[in-house]
Amino acid sequence: MSDTYFIENVGKTLILDRFGQIIKDINAPAYWDGTKNNGSLAKEGLYFIIGNETVQKTVSLLK
């Protein structure tokens, strides 16, 4: 994946897959490059960016 996504909200931010599993936690503001916490690339699909306990954005990863 060559794109990065800027996450604007401040503080702990979670990125969840479509099943609700946390794949990445970030201290925002920050960029997400499509990687999971273990450093591997997330699979193609829909992801939810959660900050301040609400959905801030949805992101589709395409490869």
Mean pLDDT for 7-13 is 88
For residue 25, give its domain range. 5-61
Mean pLDDT for 4-16 is 90
User: In this prediction, what percent of the chain has a pLDDT beyond 90?
Assistant: 59
End-to-end CA distance of the chain: 6
What is the torsion angle, in degrees rounded to the nearest 10, for the CA atoms of residue 46, residue 22, residue 11 and residue 44? Answer: -30
**The total number of structural domains that make up the chain:** 1
Q: Degrees (nearest 5) of the Cα angle 37, 42, 44? A: 165
Q: In terms of pTM, does the model score above 0.85?
A: no
pLDDT digits (tens, 9 = 90+) for 34-60: 999 999 999 999 999 998 776 667 788
